[in-house]
Structure 1
Amino acid sequence: MSDTDQKMIEALMAKNRELQEENDRLKRQVGNGSTPSGTPAQPSGPKATILTTSDGSGRLSSLISDSVTANLTDEDGEPVKGERIVFMINNKAAGTAITDANGDAVLHTKQYAGDPQAWVQALGGGYTAEYKGSKNYKPSKAYGGAGVSV
């Protein structure tokens, strides 16, 4: 092997080490939530949400003076706290509640009993819980059924 060939091999090996070090540095940055430029990585957009409701059932008098519940989680199943849930009967808002640390929004129907006819309709046709979404989370909707005995 000539001296020229040996120098070429050494230069290529040095360049390879240089590139490997740069690659390792970039991997560390990305692993720390940073982009290659060193700025914080931006989220890919709002997360999907899943809204579920509890079906109400029981005596008419207790349903009108009790509560309905909706639970909001993100796409990873983590509770979403501090978001407003709108409870609707026949496409008309019946009340709102804010999600707690568990993602639960509880609407105490007694405080909205001013229109008992609306809750009677809900017993027959159910209710809808709706999350309108935010900067961080996508909207979602769920249906809650109700069964009643008198």
Structure 2
Amino acid sequence: MTKPGSLLLLLALAGTPVPDTVRPSSVKIHEVLGGPAGYIDLRNTTTTTLDIGGWSVQACTGGAVPVELATVPAGSEIAAGDHFLITGQGFGGTVQQLVVEAIVGDGEMLLDRRGARVDSIGWAPSSPCRENQAASACPGLAQARDAVSRDTDNNKADFGCVRPID
């Protein structure tokens, strides 16, 4: 490459924004229970604390486009390997980091502050929140990933029915 060409390349790269350091696999929707007493448990799968302020959770409510359920407040963080809990108003547990009216819909989607999909779960075959095959329905139970939050981008393979957290 010639010197003028190298200079143009350097100038072009200097104006390129640094990519977000959060990879799509860094934060997972680890567990979900729908309803007014429900919750969405987000899990940081990395070894560093992650800032999730400005991220949003969308609910798939039967339409073609998800609707906003919550925006994570600025300054919210998840420590390495830890969880962040979004709960419905009727949730009876002691940890409630972000409270919404209810966990609604046939799926949930986590978006980073740029609006890019980070993770999602859908339990209806037509849900725009599902990844590949829909997760199995779990009447009265929560849907959860395994202990390490395995993600194959197939909700049916990744989520199983579990007893809800208290």
TM-score normalised over the length of structure 2: 0.41
- Give 1 or 2 for the bigger CA radius of gyration: 1
Answer 1 or 2: higher relative contact order, Cα 8 Å, separation at least 6.
1
